[in-house]
Chain A
Amino acid sequence: MTATSSRDDHYAGEPIAEHRSRLRATVDTILLNRLAVTGLIILLLLVIAAAIGPLVAPYGINEISIPDRLQGPSASHWFGTDDLGRDLFSRVIIGSRVSLMVGFIAVGIALLIGVPIGLASGFYGGAVDSWLMRLMDILFALPAILLAIAVLAVLGPGIGNAMIAIGIVYTPIFARITRGSVLTIKESVFVSAARSLGATDIRILRTHILPNVVAPITVQTSLSLAFAILAEAALSFLGLGVQPPDPAWGRMLAEGRGFFEQAPWMAIFPGLAIVITVMAFNFVGDGLRDALDPQQRSVIESRGQG
C-alpha cells in the first residue's frame, strides 16, 4: 500500500488501520491459538464420525456375540468388547451421534428461550426485568442435575425429554448473559445516537443490540455444549436419558461400572470420549472468547509476534 506517498490534501487523511474484516480478524486470532485449533480439529472429526458413523463402524452396534464378551482392546476390537460381546469402538462412534444431537438441541432450546428473555429483560428493564430475572434466579438456584431429574420425573425418561430438561436447565444462563450484555450495550453512546436519529426500539434491538451481544452468546454456546454433553452423560448414566440398547456414552459408562475390575476398557473408552469432547468444546469456547474481544485480540497478536 502506498499510504504515505499518495496523500490527498482534499481529504482528512486515510484510515489509520489496515482494512481487515472483523470475521477475518477473528479467524486469524483463532488460528493463532493452538488449543482452539486442536479443539476445532477434534470437533470436526467428531462431527464426521457422527455423520458417517455406520460406514466406518466395523461392527453393528447391537451385534451381540457372547463368545467374544469382555475382550480387551485388540486388532479386531480396537476398544475391546462389552459384557454382551458388542464392539465398543463401534458403540463409541455411534454414541457420538446421541451426545452431539442432545448437546446441540438442548443448547438450541436454551438459546431460543433464554436469549429473548434476556433481550426483553435487559432492554425494557423495570418490572419486566424484575419478574423475568426472579424466575430465572429460581431456576438457577436449583442444582442443575436435580432440576433436570425433576423435569424428567414429570415428563418421563427418554432422549427427547432429556433434551428438553437440559435445555430448561441452561435457559437462565443464556438469559443472564444476554441481559448483562444488553444492559451494557443499551447504555453505549451509539445506541443513544441511533435513538437521536429517530430509530425505533425494534430497529435498535435488531441492528445495534443483537449483533453486539452475539459474541458473548457464541462463547457461552460453545461452553454450554460441553456442559450439555456432560449432563446428558450423567442423565443416561442414571438411566433417565437414552434407553438401552441404544448406545450413549453416559449409558455405556454406567454399564461399564459393573465390570470395572474385569474389563476397565468398558468404562475408560466412553469416559475418554466424554472428556475429549468436553475439552474440545471448552478450548474452542476459550479461543472464541479471546478472538471476539478486540482488546484481547491485539494482546494475543503482539504475543504471537514475540
Chain B
Amino acid sequence: MTETLLDVRDLRVHFPIYSTGIRRKEVARVQAVDGVSLSIGAGETVGLVGESGCGKTTTGLAILRLVEPTDGSVSFDGDEVGNLSKGELRKLRKRAAMIFQDPFASLDPRMSIGDSISEPLLIHKLFPDRNDRIDRTCQLLEKVGLSPNYRDRFPHEFSGGQRQRVGIARALATEPDFVVCDEPIAALDVSIQAQVMNLLEDLQDELGLTYLFIAHDLSAVQHLSDRVAVMYLGRIAEVADRSQFSAGLKHPYAESLLSAVPIPDPHLERTRERILLEGDVASPLDPPPGCRFHTRCPYATERCSNEEPSLRDLGGGHQVACHLYD
C-alpha cells in the first residue's frame, strides 16, 4: 500500500447551541461528528457517503480545519493539523483544497471568474507578476475545459456545470496534493454529472491528486472511489474497498442504503429486494445510546442498545461497526 497522506483518529465535532442574550449559556450540543477514524493513502480516492445530517460534510470541513474539531486528531502528511499556527495553517491550505457543492453559491458573484481563479495565487503569493498570473489562470481554465477567453466573465453568465469547473480550477490553482470534494455533482444536471466526474478522474491521473469524495449518491461514490466509507449519525458504519463492496456490504445500514439506491434497469428493479427502513434518523442533538442505528435496525438485539460497536477489521481492510460481526 502507498504511504498514508491523511490520518483521522477519533474525530469529534460538536456544535454547542447557546441561549440568546449577553451572557450566552450552552443549552445543547449537536453531535455532528462523533468519533470518526479514517485514513487515506496518497493518490487514493476515498468516498464518504451517507444521508443528509449524517455529518459527512462536517467531517470534510473539520479535516481541513474549516470548522474547529472538538476532539480527536487529524494528521496530514505527518503534521498534526490541530496544532498548526495560523501561518502554518495557511500553508496547509495551499496543499489541501476543497470543492464545494453548490456552484451557484461558491463563487463570489462580484468577481470575474479569472479573478476568482487567481485569488489563491495572490493569497499564497505564487505568481507575483501579473502577466504570469494571467497565464496561469488561462492554463487552469484550459485544464478544466473552459476557454481562457471567458476569464473576464462573471459567474452568473455560466451554467451550473461550467461554474463547477471554475470551482475546480480554483481549488487546483495552488497545485494541492489533497482535495476534499463536497457533493461536487449533486447540483448538476444528469448529462453534466458525467462530464464533471470524468474531469475529476482525468485531473487525478494527470496531477496525482488524493481525493476525499463526499456525496449522498452511492452510485457516483462507488464509481469514483477506491474505498467507500458509509456514515450514519456522526459515525462510520462501514469501510469497504471496491472488491469488498462488490462482494456485499455487511453493516445493516449500509446494506439497506445500497438496496434503496434506484438502479436504471427496470428488470433489476422489479426483482431486487429492498430493505425498507422504519422511521426516521434520530436527532444528532440526542443520539440514542449504544449503536446509533439500533432504533431502525431490523437485527437489533438488547446488546445494541447498550453497547457501542467499534469499527472492526474483517480482513483486508474491510471495517464494520456492528455487533453482528463480533
Q: Is B153's CB under 8 angstroms from A212's CB?
A: no
Q: Pick from A13, A19, A190, A199: contact of B106, CB below 8 A.
A: A190
Per-position 1/0 for A108-143, Cβ under 8 A of B: 000000000000000000000011001000000000
Q: Within the complex, which residue of A8, A13, A22, A212 is in contact with B154, where a contact is CB–CB below 8 Å?
A: A22
Near A by CB (< 8 A), chain B positions 55-103 give 61, 64, 66, 89-94, 97-98, 100-102
Asked if A189 contacts B100 (CB within 8 A), the reply is yes
Give the distance in Å from the alpha carbon of A105 to the alpha carbon of B105 in the complex.
37
Which residues in chain A, 167-208, are within 8 Å of chain B measured between CB atoms? 188-190, 192-200, 203, 207-208
Cα–Cα, bound, A14→B161 (Å)? 11
B66 adjacent to A15 (CB under 8 Å) = no
Alpha-carbon gap, A203 to B115, bound state (A) = 14
Indicate if the CB atoms of A11 and B146 lie closer than 8 Å: yes
- Which chain B residues numbered 145 to 161 have a C-beta less than 8 Å away from chain A? 145-147, 150, 153-154, 156-159, 161
* Bound: A21/B111 CA distance, A: 11
Q: Is there contact, CB below 8 Å, between B102 and A193?
A: no
Q: List residues of chain A with CB within 8 A of the CB of B201.
A: none
**Cα(A19)–Cα(B153), bound, Å:** 7
Task: Give the docked Cα–Cα distance between A60 and B31 (Å).
Answer: 76
B318 within 8 A of A: no
Give A188 to B106 CA distance when docked, in angstroms.
8
Q: Is the CB of A12 within 8 A of B165?
A: yes
Tell me which of A13, A189, A197 contacts B162 (CB under 8 A): A13
- Bound-state CA distance A21–B150 (Å) is 13
B147 — which chain A residues lie within 8 A by C-beta?
8, 11, 14
A12 shortest CB reach to chain B, Å:
4
Closest CB-CB distance, A204 to chain B, in whole Å?
Answer: 10
A197-B158 contact given A10-B145, A190-B107, CB 8 Å threshold: no
B123: which A residues are within 8 A, CB to CB?
197-200, 203
| Residue from the list B97, B102, B146, B162 in contact with A196, Cβ < 8 A | B97
0 or 1 for each of A64-89: is its CB under 8 Å from B? (1 = yes) = 00000000000000000000000000
Q: Which residues of A contact B107 (CB under 8 A)?
A: 190, 193
- The answer to whether B105 touches A12, judged by C-beta atoms less than 8 angstroms apart, is no
Interface string of A5-39 (1 = CB under 8 A from B): 00010111111111101100000000000000000
**A245 interfacial by beta-carbon distance below 8 Å:** no
Q: Are A192 and B157 in contact (CB under 8 A)?
A: no
The docked-state distance in angstroms from the alpha carbon of A190 to that of B173 is 16
In the complex the two chains form, is A16's CB within 8 Å of B108's CB? no
How far is B249's CA from A80's CA once the two chains are assembled, in angstroms? 93
Q: With the chains together, A8 CA to B149 CA distance in Å?
A: 13
A17-B146 Cα distance, complex, nearest whole Å = 15
The one of A15, A188, A189, A193 that contacts B157, using a Cβ cutoff of 8 Å: A15
Q: How large is the interface on B (under 10, 10 to 19, 20 to 34, 35 or more residues)?
A: 35 or more
> Which of A8, A12, A131, A196 is close to B93, meaning CB atoms less than 8 Å apart?
A196
CB-CB nearest in chain B for A210: B110
Decide if B22 is an interface residue (CB 8 Å cutoff): yes
In angstroms, how far is the closest chain A Cβ from the Cβ of B169? 12
User: Once the chains bind, are B93 and A13 in contact (CB under 8 Å)?
Assistant: no
Cα A236 to Cα B170 with chains together (Å):
57
Q: Does B167 contact A (CB under 8 A)?
A: yes
Contacts of B167 in A (CB 8 A): 193
CB distance A196 to B119 under 8 Å? no
B195 at the interface (CB under 8 A from A): yes
Q: Given that A12-B195, A15-B150, A189-B102 are known contacts, is A198 also in contact with B110, CB under 8 Å in the complex? A: no
Contacts of A208 in B (CB 8 A): 108
Q: Confirm or deny: A244 has a beta carbon within 8 angstroms of a beta carbon on chain B.
A: no
B41 near A: Cβ within 8 Å? no
Q: Which residues of A contact B105 (CB under 8 A)?
A: 188-190
From A12, A190, A211, A212, contact of B145 by CB (8 A): A12
Contact B146 A12 (CB under 8 A): yes
Is B35 interfacial (CB 8 A cutoff)? no
7 contacts between A and B (CB under 8 A): A14-B147, A15-B150, A16-B158, A192-B61, A193-B106, A193-B107, A211-B108
Chain B residues packing against A (C-beta within 8 Å): 22, 61, 64, 66, 89-94, 97-98, 100-102, 105-111, 119-120, 123-124, 144-147, 150, 153-154, 156-159, 161-162, 165, 167, 170-171, 173-174, 195
Give 5 nearest A-B pairs by CB, closest first: A198-B93, A189-B105, A15-B157, A17-B157, A196-B98
